[in-house]
Chain A
Amino acid sequence: MAEPMGFFTDPTVCIGCKACEVACKQWNQLPALDEDRRTLSGDSYDNTRKLDGTHWRHVKFVEQFDEDRRDGRWTMLSDVCKHCVQAGCLEVCPTGAIIRTEFDTVVIQSDTCNGCKACLGACPFGVIDINPVSKTAQKCTLCYDRLQAGMEPACSQACPTDSIVFGPVRELKERAGRRVDQLHAAGEKRAVLYGADENMLGGLNAFFLLVDKPEVYGLPPDPKMPTRHLATGTLATMLGAFVVGLVSLFNFRDRRAGEASAPDRDQP
């Protein structure tokens, strides 16, 4: 296997330009939302709302201002599939459509996916959804086709401020560590890495720098693997997955309220 490759995403230099979203859509030829669903969310500048089958990069906008504005910040974070070392989606896929590539990334092969949605519930991050065009489960491939051709993924190439950095995970972790040290030295003591160590699902190959609790960015604080075979799993595990789902639901908060009736909104 080639060296594990991944993304380091740093919201402290993200300007929320959404070039990553557009570059991803263009390279992967993903459709936009249907016209009747293209509406203002009212949640800051986030109008695509979440990762799903046609949004493989999604920029979250978090506004945190005191009432008197003495303290305030606006954080943007470009979310993506984490390409977990222990990937729940891959474990539960009944057709073997989800594979681990030579780059240690996790890819859904559309031609062998039957759209059973098992992976949707197995992903603790709510990354995967059905693409309404292909009717199969889809998510970020870490531009597997580009990687095979020696190119970097479309999103990181388009990122003007290097908020999304692509590279060997080992190097990314070194870079991320230096950035955390730099932020700490500059007084930003809240800076931590999310998913950079093995405790979280064996490590996330797409990991993040955060400057607040994970929940603030819609990320589960302690993501867990689903039980391998749901049929023999305990009720507790299923509940666990449900709770994780609820957490992510909660974190999408009111921005989903207006879309509750949308058909592709099934969750575990």
Chain B
Amino acid sequence: MYPRSMEDSDCVLVMGSNMAENHPVAFRWPMKAKVEHGAKLIHVDPRFTRTSAMADIYAPLRAGSDIAFLGGVVNFVLNSERWNKDPFFRTFATTYTNAASIVSSEFRDTEDMGGVFSGLMAYTGDAPEWPFNGFIGEYESSSWSYEREGGGAGGDNPGGGPRETGREDGGGPNEQPALDATKAGAGGPPYDDLVRALLQPPVQRDDTLTDPRCVLQILRRHFARYTPEMVEQVTGCPRDQFLLVAQTLLDNSGAERTSSIAYAVAWTQHTYGVQIIGCAALLQLLLGNVGRPGAGIVALRGHASIQGSTDVPTLYHSIHGYMSAPSALEPHNSLSEWLAQETQPTGYWANTPKFMVSYLKSMYGAAATRDNDFGYAWHPKIIGDHSHMPMFVAMNEGRVKGMFCIGQNPATSLNAKLERSGLRKLDWLVVKDNWLHETAMFWKTAPEVRAGEVATADIDTEVFFFPSSQVAEYDGSFTNTQRLLQWHYKAADPPGECRSDMYFTYQLGKRLKALYAGSTLPRDQGFLNLVWDYESTDPREQQLGEPESEKILKEINGYYSEEPGRHVAGPEDLADDGSTSCASWIYCGVYPSPDENRSANRQADPPGVPGAHLGWGFAWPSNRRILYNRVSADPQGKPWSERKRYVWWDEAKTQWVGLDVPDFPTTKPPTYRAPPGATGMDAHNGTDAFILKTDGVGWLYVPEGLVDGPLPTHYEPVESVVRNPLYKQQSSPVLKYWKIDGNPLAELADAKYPYVITTYRLTEHYLSGAMSRWLPWLTELQPELFVELSPELANEQGIANLDRVRISSPRATVHAKALVTRRMRPLQVAGRTVHQVGMPFHWGWEGLSTGDAANELTALVGDPNTTMHEGKTFVCNVHKA
């Protein structure tokens, strides 16, 4: 959902986020809901923060115990009288979720297996060239699939979009359809036969929701042990506080009311972060809080345009528009193999061949033809996990020669000393940023250099620094957390030699193309054929060397290959035969004609008129503000209630209408029944609202796509002060851990590290401080690194407010001033007192305000789906320095 929609919420749960401090502008909307119509604001967090200060209900919890808390709410909801009696919930679950779907008889839940799912085995997936994927185990996940008509688990590929992770084995029951599809697609477009060859028998259902293998019954069993008593034991949250949260959420859900949940990186930065978010999605689906005004989950982003960097990705594992990056570990050897592996036969992703071919046309232009697979073989392939932590592990092994570091400050990042030892192994390092921050200066002023452990003269890395221009010094677009593209305009020339990141990338590409010129090597043809025409038409920008950002957005939007002056107006215009070019299908429509840049639209709705501000910017896809908004109407197409009407079926006009762009085929009536053998959107009924899912429903249970299980399960963090009270399995059996020198972990309940620590941001600074610690107006507001701790812990350790203290983890020791506050509190967990401390991670040794980097303490461990680290909870000790 988008933050503004929170003004329509009747209850807002902020969890895994300190929204008021880190997203103060978006926090305007929950505050409006609270002040203007009495919405309940709930904050669940280890610390009492500025968000808690605004909340009607604050519930403390032990850092990292979020799934136990949310699982407890799920159990509470499933056992509540209201959820079982109110027809809204029953209808919503049966129609719009997979509650009725039957799961394979092969599936074994954590209940049966001591906390792990069926299919757990040793990990063997590393490519010899890249042994850095870090998994400690893996699942063979075919037993998690749906049961299909005609018997048997119907494969590990029931769909829902391209795979999330870089590596997954291509085996399993789906092999045969994929093989057939590859053959069907081998002759090139059209790819209709390829899509058809992927079809599988329908999923078995039980609309009475009583079959023991239907999703709802599996859910009931899985969450039965998440009782209020257990929640209190695991999370430390007093039972009455927990119950108040659960009851308030339930009371504010239903046909007449909606609740929203906001989270940020305090949910992602765990070894089970995806599962925490999945648990929230499960809860919201159960409560009918999806696709409706004031409902849903707000994924608050940590950076200004990080949504944009997912859409037009800087991520290693995906290409534009959430398609999987071609991988050497997958059956991706040809375009038809890739399409057979990544296309879904039913639902919107059946269009994948159109998106992929149009993407390849945007990459290689006229050189991409049906005879050469549209240049597919030129496209780079990944060979494993190339995200931040594996890259630095590889760097430490001497496997990485050079690095472009643009808008990033790894010298103060995870297990920072290891990151710096990696930097020392590089031949060259390019830093492009505003200031000479810690990464630019690691060779000269890093702690180990100043301590004399490392001599500058012994560091061979050649470091280049490029000063950056600021956002007001060039034209471009931002994509914010609500998928909204907003154009911004240049206000002034940058000073001196400061240039934009676009300039840097454009000029680098131009120079590399010049170096490759004339090569006849097959491997260089991709670079030679790469479309790279962004030269500015403005003489002034030409002089600066800056490219024309409109040209880039036009390429992303797409056009007709033979007629680049004619733009495609939306993803429905894209073709799989090379006649259209489009870099990112989800952005298609932002630039529908050469003189219409919809991201520059600035027409807000008038005050007091209900609407979705469709004239302001452009929200992908197709300017929709709320995704899956078909569910804002009941199965017959009528609004669930007058109060929450949003999108509905207009019988007279025989189309979907409403306050937003309907996220559904405009003229498909609610009564439409898909004929057998249909593909794509024709295979979805008039009630199948989740158009990106093959089965058209929201997934309470995730039969495919996650590597760590189909249901959220409470595991302890990698480093924990307690044994897992819920299962025999202590922590995720498939998490990522890099067992290398300098990355040791504490033992379970290690007496040397008795306290839980969490790291976070403050309003006054930004990330590693690379943008804020050089500004006097900000550094006077938060001038020094501190560690927040309760008076109880301070007494225990003989620490007074403002004392200098030493904080140590198995990786490092840092110093900070003590900020003793009752906002921190000891919790009773599993029969003992657990103390938690908190440290902001904004500091480093350069800039106007300096201090130790809290990330010296963190470990290289990661979520198995995303390789996100676990900076939100680990263990430490605290002493007076």
| Shortest Cβ distance from residue B296 to the other chain A in the assembled complex, whole angstroms | 21
| Shortest Cβ distance from residue B269 to the other chain A in the assembled complex, whole angstroms | 23
The yes or no answer to B25 lying at the interface (CB within 8 A) is yes
In the complex, what residue of chain A is closest to B817 when comparing beta carbons?
A40
- Cβ < 8 Å to A, chain B residues 768-796: 776-784, 786
Instruction: Return the contact of A72 from the options B48, B762, B786 (Cβ within 8 A).
Output: B48
Verify B801–A42 contact, CB threshold 8 A.
Answer: yes
**Which B residues are in CB contact (< 8 Å) with A19?**
24
**Which B residues are in CB contact (< 8 Å) with A40?**
783-784, 786, 802, 817, 819
Verify A31–B776 contact, CB threshold 8 A.
Answer: yes
Instruction: Return the contact of B53 from the options A22, A33, A42, A73 (Cβ within 8 A).
Output: A73
Instruction: Return the contact of B763 from the options A18, A25, A48, A67 (Cβ within 8 A).
Output: A18
CA distance in complex: A33, B848 (Å): 12
Verify A13–B35 contact, CB threshold 8 A.
Answer: yes
**Which A residues are in CB contact (< 8 Å) with B34?**
13
Report which residue of A26, A42, A73 has the largest number of chain B beta carbons within 10 angstroms of its beta carbon: A42
Q: Contacts A35-B848, A63-B821 known; A160 to B781 CB distance under 8 Å?
A: no
Question: How many residue pairs bridge A and B at CB < 8 Å?
Answer: 105
In the complex, what residue of chain B is closest to A18 when comparing beta carbons?
B781
The yes or no answer to A229 lying at the interface (CB within 8 A) is no
CA distance in complex: A209, B108 (Å): 58
**Which B residues are in CB contact (< 8 Å) with A179?**
35
Cβ proximity bits A5-37 to B, threshold 8 Å, 1 near / 0 not = 000000001011111011001100001110100
Verify A13–B849 contact, CB threshold 8 A.
Answer: no
Instruction: Return the contact of B781 from the options A21, A35, A74 (Cβ within 8 A).
Output: A21
The yes or no answer to A45 lying at the interface (CB within 8 A) is yes
In the complex, what residue of chain B is closest to A33 when comparing beta carbons?
B780
**Which B residues are in CB contact (< 8 Å) with A21?**
777, 781
Verify B783–A39 contact, CB threshold 8 A.
Answer: yes
Q: Contacts A15-B27, A35-B848, A63-B823 known; A45 to B782 CB distance under 8 Å?
A: yes
The yes or no answer to A131 lying at the interface (CB within 8 A) is no
Verify A15–B782 contact, CB threshold 8 A.
Answer: no
**Which A residues are in CB contact (< 8 Å) with B27?**
15, 160-161
The yes or no answer to A44 lying at the interface (CB within 8 A) is yes
The yes or no answer to B407 lying at the interface (CB within 8 A) is no
The yes or no answer to B764 lying at the interface (CB within 8 A) is yes
Verify A160–B28 contact, CB threshold 8 A.
Answer: yes
Cβ proximity bits B821-852 to A, threshold 8 Å, 1 near / 0 not = 11101000000000000000000000011000
The yes or no answer to A138 lying at the interface (CB within 8 A) is no
Verify B819–A22 contact, CB threshold 8 A.
Answer: no
In the complex, what residue of chain A is closest to B54 when comparing beta carbons?
A15
Cβ proximity bits B43-60 to A, threshold 8 Å, 1 near / 0 not = 000001011111000001
In the complex, what residue of chain B is closest to A25 when comparing beta carbons?
B777
Verify B780–A47 contact, CB threshold 8 A.
Answer: yes
Verify B783–A16 contact, CB threshold 8 A.
Answer: no
The yes or no answer to B20 lying at the interface (CB within 8 A) is yes
Verify B781–A15 contact, CB threshold 8 A.
Answer: no
CA distance in complex: A162, B25 (Å): 11
Instruction: Return the contact of A17 from the options B24, B817, B821, B822 (Cβ within 8 A).
Output: B24
**Chain A residues touching B, range:** 35 or more
CA distance in complex: A26, B775 (Å): 11
CA distance in complex: A47, B777 (Å): 12
**Which A residues are in CB contact (< 8 Å) with B99?**
none
Verify A75–B53 contact, CB threshold 8 A.
Answer: yes
The yes or no answer to B665 lying at the interface (CB within 8 A) is no
CA distance in complex: A72, B47 (Å): 13
**Which A residues are in CB contact (< 8 Å) with B24?**
15, 17, 19, 160-161
Verify B781–A22 contact, CB threshold 8 A.
Answer: yes
Verify A17–B763 contact, CB threshold 8 A.
Answer: yes
**Which B residues are in CB contact (< 8 Å) with A39?**
783-784
The yes or no answer to B31 lying at the interface (CB within 8 A) is yes
| Shortest Cβ distance from residue A73 to the other chain B in the assembled complex, whole angstroms | 7
CA distance in complex: A16, B848 (Å): 23
In the complex, what residue of chain A is closest to B791 when comparing beta carbons?
A67
| Shortest Cβ distance from residue A68 to the other chain B in the assembled complex, whole angstroms | 9
In the complex, what residue of chain A is closest to B22 when comparing beta carbons?
A17
Verify B823–A65 contact, CB threshold 8 A.
Answer: yes
Instruction: Return the contact of A38 from the options B35, B60, B849 (Cβ within 8 A).
Output: B849
The yes or no answer to B114 lying at the interface (CB within 8 A) is no
Verify A48–B781 contact, CB threshold 8 A.
Answer: yes
Cβ proximity bits B796-830 to A, threshold 8 Å, 1 near / 0 not = 00000110000000000000010101110100000
**Which A residues are in CB contact (< 8 Å) with B21?**
15, 17
The yes or no answer to A76 lying at the interface (CB within 8 A) is yes
CA distance in complex: A48, B764 (Å): 12
The yes or no answer to A133 lying at the interface (CB within 8 A) is no
Cβ proximity bits A159-184 to B, threshold 8 Å, 1 near / 0 not = 01110000000000000000100100
In the complex, what residue of chain A is closest to B60 when comparing beta carbons?
A69
**Which A residues are in CB contact (< 8 Å) with B763?**
15-18
**Which B residues are in CB contact (< 8 Å) with A65?**
48, 822-823
Instruction: Return the contact of A74 from the options B28, B762, B778, B823 (Cβ within 8 A).
Output: B823
CA distance in complex: A40, B843 (Å): 14
Verify A161–B780 contact, CB threshold 8 A.
Answer: no
| Shortest Cβ distance from residue A237 to the other chain B in the assembled complex, whole angstroms | 37
Residues of A at the B interface (CB closer than 8 Å) are 13, 15-19, 21-22, 25-26, 31-33, 35, 38-40, 42, 44-45, 47-48, 63, 65, 67, 69, 72-76, 160-162, 179, 182, 186
Q: List 23 A-B contacts (CB under 8 A).
A: A15-B24, A15-B50, A16-B50, A17-B21, A21-B777, A26-B777, A32-B779, A38-B780, A40-B786, A42-B819, A45-B762, A63-B821, A63-B822, A65-B48, A65-B823, A67-B822, A74-B48, A74-B50, A74-B823, A160-B27, A160-B28, A161-B31, A186-B38
Please give me the 6 A-B residue pairs with the lowest Cβ-Cβ distance, nearest first.
A32-B776, A65-B822, A38-B783, A74-B53, A15-B20, A42-B802
9 more CB-based (< 8 A) A-B contacts, given A47-B782, A63-B822, A65-B823: A15-B21, A15-B27, A15-B763, A16-B53, A17-B20, A19-B24, A32-B779, A35-B848, A160-B25
